[in-house]
Every structure is written in C-alpha cells, then in structure tokens.
Amino acid sequence: MNAVNLKLTKLPNLDSIIHSIISDMSLICMVSVEGKYEYTGKTHQSILGYKPEELINRSLFEFIHPDDFVMVKSLFKNGLASGEFKKIKLRYRCGNDNYLYLESQGNAVYDENNRVNGVVFVSRDVTATTMMENELARIGQLKNVGQLTAGLVHEIRNPITTVRGFLQMLGSNEELKPYRDYLDLMIRELDSANYLITDYLSMAKDKETDFAWQDLNLLTRSLYPVLDAEALLGDHKIILDLGDINEIFINSNQIRQLIVNLVNNGLESMGPGGILTIKTASLADNIVFSVEDQGSGIDPDIISKIGLPFFTTKEQGTGLGLSICKNIAARHQADLKIESSKEGSIFSVWFKDFKAINYDSIKENKIFAV
C-alpha cells in the first residue's frame, strides 16, 4: 500500500482529523521518526490497556515482542527511507503484560519540505484469527503425521510380530536356556516398539468411536489402582479430589488412555516424594478433569509447543503422549489447557456438559468429530 502523503502545511488540524476518523479505526497512533509516540487514540486504552499519557514520548519498540523486534525495527527504518510502509503482523505487549497480535499499516507524514516527519499507524487486533490460524495449522500438522505414519506402521508391525513369535519359540528351547535372558530382552524391546506403533496409530487414525454417557468419576476410580502402583514405583503419591459432576458423553477407552497419559506425564515431571492430584469439577457449562503435579513447571517459551507431535523435553520421550491427549480431547469437542508455574503444572480437560442438550440433537448434529 502506498504511503499517504500528508502535508502539514495543508493539514494544520491533523489532530482533529485523526479524532474525526478514530471511531472507524481499531487502533490509531502517530509516532516520530525516532519511533516515539506523539498521539494515541482512546482505543489504545480499551484494547491495549494504556492511557494516552502512559505512551506519549515512549518508544513504540519497547512494547514489541522480542521475537518480532528486529523485523519491526527493520521495516520501520526502511519505511522512513522509502516513504512506504508494508502491512505487518506483530505481537504487542499490553498493560497486563500479555501479548496481542496486531495487523498494522504505517503511513508516512511529510513536513513542508517534503521530508518524512512522522508515521501514522492504523492497526487492528487480529489475535483471535491468528490463534485460529495457528490451531488450523496444528491440526493440519497432525493430519500430515497421520497420513505419513498410518501407511507405514502396519508394514512395520507385521515383521515385528513374526520376529517376536520366533523369539518366544527359541526361548522355550532348553538348549538355548543360557541365552534366555537375552531373548527376553529382545522380546521386551520389540514390545516397546510395538507400543510406540500403537501410539502412532492412536494419534494418526481417524477411526470411528463408540460414545456413551459415562461417569467420569467412576472411570477415574477404576484406573486408580493401576495409577497408584505406577506412582509408588517413583516414590510418588496420588490424591483423588472428585467433585459432584454430571455424566458426560464420551468414548471410555479413549478417555482411559487420556487419563493414563496425563497422569504418567505428571508423575514423570516430579522428583521423589511428589504429590499428584486428580480433580473433577463442574464449572459453568463444563465438566473439568485436571491433573496437578508438583514438578518444576514448564518454560513459558515452550508451552505453546506442548502437544505437537514429536515435541518432547524428556530424554527418552517420543513426543506423542500429550499429542494423543489433544487429539482425544478434540474428538470429544473438549479443550486441553495448561497452567504452569515454578511450583508445578496443571493439565485440565474441559468437556462440555451436554446433559442439558437433548441426546437426539447430539446425534443429529454430529457434535463429535469421529
């Protein structure tokens, strides 16, 4: 987009012009050639959380996300030199220290000598659409992984099954008794590979699922003996804090897998003596299942990557456990949320409370993506 050549000699009432159009703009401001704010509209307070007096004479660049700083600085410099500013998307730090995505277009302001004397930026909040685009990209990544792995795992599984069978047969041979420990080790390694393949399939296969009304508390209690035994191996303790909740419309096998994966993830994050709390609660129109650990927390810079296929911070992790959880949650129209601090992390799954919805409408509208 070409720059708007505003001659200050012809527009002495620039400030009043800005005021007259501001109601039609999401965000509008004017900065000097040094990048310092000279004017900001009221929407900077309502959207970004800054009063005009909090921004005037401060540098625009101190509010830019560190990862976007070099790009924004470079485009600003190039725009001053050419008089033309490219439309850009950037992350801007708000008054509450959170970042919003802004789409911003700069327009050069010229003085009576036809020199760039400042820049008017017109911006809009595109956080919602950007987050949606990121989520669609993530889903596309899952589908790509699914297409790649689903075509390979079956061919891999068949020879594994054959080799395992012959190893078992050799293990029963008395002449090979001295080597039985080695044979058992090979079988265990094959089983480990087979479990990994099962995880691939669970994430990749868009399979039909059987949904039914289930008591999430009952399902959790049925898994407790197995989960508690796993916890004891690492000198951990599991506490159940199950609230009064409605039944939810789920596939019990998939939700069992989700619970086991979330609990194992929490246990692996803690040192000896750590306590893991499993909670259920009814909040507004949601049934919330959460796993709270006492680990060291998750670096804020990588939280957005948690759940991506093959992304892991563990030395021996596959990066599939939480990816599978996100996939299962998506199949149930649920959201997997992560909260983390130095005291630990909370992984929660927010299921919609469909008890208020007629069951026939659920089937008719195909609410669940199976």
- How much is the pLDDT for 368? 45
Closest among 249, 198, 11 to 107, alpha carbons compared: 11
- Tell me the backbone φ, ψ of residue 98, rounded to 5 degrees: -85, 160
| Residue 319 banded pLDDT, cuts 50, 70, 90 | very low
Write the CB contacts of 71 (distance below 8 Å, at least 6 apart in sequence): 88, 90
- How much is the pLDDT for 314? 52
- How much is the pLDDT for 198? 65
What 3 state SS string does the chain have? CCCCCEECCCCCCHHHHHHHHHHHCCEEEEECCCCEEEEECCHHHHHHCCCHHHHCCCEHHHHECHHHHHHHHHHHHHHHHHCECCCEEEEEECCCCCEEEEEEEEEEEECCCCCEEEEEEEEEECHHHHHHHHHHHHHHHHHHHHHHHHHHHHHHHHHHHHHHHHHHHHHCCHHHHHHHHHHHHHHHHHHHHHHHHHHHHHHHCCCCCCCEEECHHHHHHHHHHHHHHHHHHCCCEEEEEECCCCCEEECHHHHHHHHHHHHHHHHHCCCCCCEEEEEEEEECCEEEEEEECCCCCCCHHHHHHCCCCCCCCCCCCCCCHHHHHHHHHHHCCCEEEEEEECCEEEEEEEEECHHHCCHHHHHHHCCCCC
Of 112-116, 195-199, 240-244, highest mean pLDDT = 240-244
Query: How far is 226 from 248, CA to CA, in rounded Å?
Result: 23
Mean pLDDT on 35-53: 90
- How much is the pLDDT for 188? 82
User: Residue 14 pLDDT more than 60?
Assistant: no
* Inter-residue contact 293 to 270 (CB < 8 Å): yes
Query: How far is 261 from 19, CA to CA, in rounded Å?
Result: 55
| Residue 201 banded pLDDT, cuts 50, 70, 90 | low
| Residue 326 banded pLDDT, cuts 50, 70, 90 | confident
Residue spans per domain, the chain: 6-125, 131-204, 212-365
pLDDT tens per residue across span 226-279: 889 889 988 999 999 999 999 998 988 889 889 988 998 899 889 999 999 999
| Residue 310 banded pLDDT, cuts 50, 70, 90 | very low
User: Residue 301 pLDDT more than 70?
Assistant: no
Query: How far is 364 from 50, CA to CA, in rounded Å?
Result: 47
Share of the chain above pLDDT 90, in %: 35
| Residue 60 banded pLDDT, cuts 50, 70, 90 | very high
pLDDT tens per residue across span 75-101: 999 999 998 999 999 999 999 888 999
User: Residue 354 pLDDT more than 90?
Assistant: no
DSSP strand pairing (27-31 vs 6-7): unpaired
Which superfamily does 212-365 belong to? Histidine kinase-like ATPase, C-terminal domain (3.30.565.10)
User: Residue 358 pLDDT more than 60?
Assistant: no
Residue 241 tokens read as 């804090």
The number of beta carbons lying within 10 Å of the beta carbon of residue 278 is 22
pLDDT tens per residue across span 139-166: 666 666 666 656 566 667 778 888 888 8
Q: At what angle do helices 180-204 and 321-331 cross, to 10 degrees?
A: 40
C-alpha torsion sign, points 170, 176, 180, 185: negative
Residue 201 tokens read as 């399939």
Q: What is the CATH number of domain 6-125?
A: 3.30.450.20
In single-letter form, the type of residue at position 18 comes to I
* Inter-residue contact 49 to 129 (CB < 8 Å): no
- pTM here is 0.46
- How much is the pLDDT for 23? 43
pLDDT tens per residue across span 123-141: 999 888 888 777 667 666 6
In single-letter form, the type of residue at position 140 comes to G
Mean pLDDT value across the chain: 80
| Residue 9 banded pLDDT, cuts 50, 70, 90 | very low
Mean pLDDT on 52-62: 93
